[in-house]
């Protein structure tokens, strides 16, 4: 395997490890990014900590953080708090990738309201890609979904979009590249007219997983050293 940088790497998803010596931080990051683009999965770098923290991570799923560090929620243009908005499951399902969460008409108002599924971080995290696993069945449909990010928790900016050009159905996984940045929260937004309403307890497409992926620095206690492929 080609040397990636002079340090001990744990490229756990690729099963690769190597030891090297002396390299600048800039060169190390460049090599790691090239490795990521070349298909290596999550990389944990033990010797070039980012932002003064213990461990730098690259291509890292933030769902691997502790439960209180990534908090899920739902809402809509007519029901911002998401009160009684679940037709099946709960928001924790798309955070942990356990089961499917599906909105009901309390959240979508028969398909006339925009609605979203959101993840809020304990502190701003770098995100450059968002993986979504969709449930679009039982009368629901999807033409477009949007990924939005916020730096202050209030103002949202569109950072990625998937437009299928027509109504689609099924169960599928999508990786959406987004504008790389440090976000306090991210959400997937479905706008009225860009999804199909099913029935009262199938208010629109649902989610198995909402998974933000990025680079950054972690304290030692934050790292998922097992790094098992539980998501996506």
User: Is 92 part of a structural domain of the chain?
Assistant: yes
pTM of the model: 0.78
> Cα(8)–Cα(182) distance, rounded to whole angstroms?
26
- Total domains in the chain come to 2
User: Is 228 part of a structural domain of the chain?
Assistant: no
Q: Which residue has the tokens 């701003």?
A: 124
* CATH code, 132: 2.60.120.260
Query: Model confidence over 78-126: pLDDT tens digits?
Result: 999 999 999 999 999 999 987 999 999 999 999 999 999 999 999 999 9
In terms of C-beta density within 10 A (0-12 exposed, 13-18 middle, 19 or more buried), how is residue 176 classed? middle
Distance of CA 216 to the CA centre of its chain: 14
Nearest one of 112, 86, 116 to 201, comparing CA atoms: 86
| Residue 70 pLDDT exceeds 90 | yes
Q: Are residues 46 and 73 in the same domain?
A: no
User: Is 75 part of a structural domain of the chain?
Assistant: yes
CA 140 to each of CA 25, 59, 85, 171, 227: distance values in angstroms, whole numbers, following the listed order: 49, 32, 16, 11, 34
Query: Model confidence over 159-191: pLDDT tens digits?
Result: 999 999 999 999 999 999 999 999 999 999 999
Looking at per-residue confidence, does 8 or 129 come out higher? 129
Q: Are residues 32 and 101 in the same domain?
A: no
| Residue 20 pLDDT exceeds 50 | no
Q: What is the pLDDT of residue 50?
A: 47
Which of 31-35, 131-135, 224-228 has the weakest average pLDDT?
Answer: 31-35
Distance of CA 194 to the CA centre of its chain: 21
Q: Are residues 46 and 113 in the same domain?
A: no
């Amino acid at each position: 395997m080609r040397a990636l940088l002079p340090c001990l790497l744990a490229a756990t998803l690729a099963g690769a490890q190597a030891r090297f010596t002396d390299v600048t931080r800039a060169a190390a990051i460049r090599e790691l990014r090239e490795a990521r683009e070349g298909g290596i999965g999550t990389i944990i770098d033990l010797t070039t900590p980012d932002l003064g923290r213990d461990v730098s991570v690259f291509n890292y799923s933030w769902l691997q953080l502790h439960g209180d560090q990534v908090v899920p929620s739902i809402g809509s243009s007519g029901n911002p708090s998401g009160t009684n908005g679940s037709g099946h499951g709960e928001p924790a399902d798309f955070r942990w990738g356990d089961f499917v969460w599906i909105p009901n008409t309390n959240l979508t108002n028969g398909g006339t309201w925009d609605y979203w599924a959101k993840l809020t971080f304990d502190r701003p995290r770098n995100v450059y890609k968002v993986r979504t696993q969709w449930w679009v069945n039982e009368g629901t449909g999807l033409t477009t979904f949007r990924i939005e990010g916020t730096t202050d928790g209030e103002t949202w900016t569109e950072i990625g979009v998937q437009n299928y050009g027509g109504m689609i159905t099924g169960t599928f996984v999508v990786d959406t590249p987004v504008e790389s940045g440090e976000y306090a929260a991210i959400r997937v937004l479905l706008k009225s007219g860009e999804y199909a309403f099913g029935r009262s307890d199938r208010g629109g497409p649902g989610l198995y997983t909402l998974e933000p992926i990025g680079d950054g620095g972690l304290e030692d206690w934050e790292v998922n050293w097992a790094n098992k492929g539980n998501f996506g």
